[in-house]
């Protein structure tokens, strides 16, 4: 196969994937600010039949290697929010574009997205629902990027607030090759090592901004199938 033909096939596949994602997004959302799964994109959820003006806007933040589909494929969290009168927004961070970054990078993007979402909904208070690393990304946006005033509450689901032993293994000399093989040896994974997160806690938990939001954490004690991401 010639290089030119190979390039044409790759381009076609890329365009088809992009169109498929955009079609999927358009059927799930009221409006998309940005493009497809590009970092920085915001999806405004389909508006509930009877929006409750007293309820905050739910902002769903993905986890490591995830994108916004985390919240509506394989679960009914998006549907439940809409059925109960909540307006919603979904963000795409660096992980959505296929390059997981640290919580410092994701937090900076999220901070800007929170500003846009708040403005879109007329300054209505936001509640962040963060999955896994998304909970840590949210803390960076609120505490280190100063966006705590836009948010009332933060719910974190399975977030490694003190780091992950799996991240340690992924960056160890003995098993690092395995992490690289399955695509987990990334900047995002490195930032979740227990030693790195201990430092993050040390420079975060004593800041006054920590007390400006209410935090709720949910976690479980079951793992996914062997060799899965979980």
Domains of the chain listed by start with CATH number: 20-160 (3.40.50.1820)
The CA distance from 194 to 190, in Å, is 9
As a whole-number percent, the residues of the chain with pLDDT over 90 amount to 58
Q: What Rg value do the Cα atoms of the chain yield, rounded? A: 18
Q: 92 or 184: which carries more pLDDT confidence?
A: 92
**From edge to edge, which strands make up the β-sheet containing 57-61?**
29-33, 42-45, 88-91, 57-61, 126-131, 151-157, 214-218
Reported confidence tier of residue 23, pLDDT bands at 50, 70, 90: very low
Q: Report the relative pairing of strands 214-218 and 151-157 from DSSP bridges.
A: parallel
Range among 22-36, 38-52, 60-74, 130-144 rated most confident: 130-144
What tokens were used for 32?
A: 């998309």
pLDDT > 70? residue 12:
no
Parallel, antiparallel or unpaired: strands 29-33 and 42-45: antiparallel
Cα separation, 144 vs 66, whole angstroms: 23
33 or 180, greater pLDDT: 33
Q: Which residue has the higher pLDDT, 192 or 211?
A: 211
Q: Tokens standing for 176?
A: 């690092």
**pTM across the whole model:** 0.82
What distances in angstroms separate CA 127 from CA 76, 86, 100, 146, 215, one per listed residue? Answer: 18, 10, 24, 15, 10
Higher pLDDT, 128 or 166: 128
Residues in the chain: 230
**Among candidates 65, 64, 60, which has minimal Cα distance to 28?**
60
Going by pLDDT thresholds of 50, 70 and 90, the confidence category of residue 4 is: very low
Mean pLDDT across the chain, nearest whole number?
84
pLDDT(67) > 60: yes
Q: Is the pLDDT of residue 13 over 60?
A: no
Q: How far apart are CA 127 and CA 89, in angstroms?
A: 10
Do residues 229 and 133 touch, judged by C-beta distance below 8 A? Answer: no
Give pLDDT, residue 226.
66
pLDDT at 26 over 50: no
pLDDT at 55: 94
């Amino acid at each position: 196969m010639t290089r030119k033909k190979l390039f044409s096939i790759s381009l076609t596949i890329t365009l088809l994937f992009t169109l498929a994602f955009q079609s999927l997004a358009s059927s799930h959302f009221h409006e998309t600010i940005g493009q497809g799964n590009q970092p920085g994109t915001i999806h405004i959820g389909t508006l509930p039949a009877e929006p409750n003006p007293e309820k905050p806007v739910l902002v769903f933040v993905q986890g490591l290697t995830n994108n916004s589909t985390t919240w509506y494929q394989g679960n009914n969290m998006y549907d439940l929010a809409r059925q109960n009168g909540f307006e919603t927004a979904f963000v795409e961070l660096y992980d959505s574009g296929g390059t997981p970054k640290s919580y410092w990078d994701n937090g900076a993007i999220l901070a800007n997205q929170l500003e846009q979402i708040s403005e879109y909904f007329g300054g209505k208070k936001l509640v962040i629902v963060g999955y896994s690393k998304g909970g840590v990304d949210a803390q960076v946006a609120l505490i280190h990027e100063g966006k705590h005033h836009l948010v009332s509450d933060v719910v974190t689901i399975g977030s490694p607030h003190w780091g992950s032993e799996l991240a340690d293994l992924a960056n160890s000399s003995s098993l690092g090759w395995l992490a690289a093989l399955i695509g987990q040896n990334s900047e995002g994974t490195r930032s979740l090592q227990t030693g790195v997160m201990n430092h993050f806690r040390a420079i975060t938990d004593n800041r006054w901004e920590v007390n400006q939001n209410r935090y709720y954490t949910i976690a479980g004690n079951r793992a996914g199938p062997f060799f899965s991401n979980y």
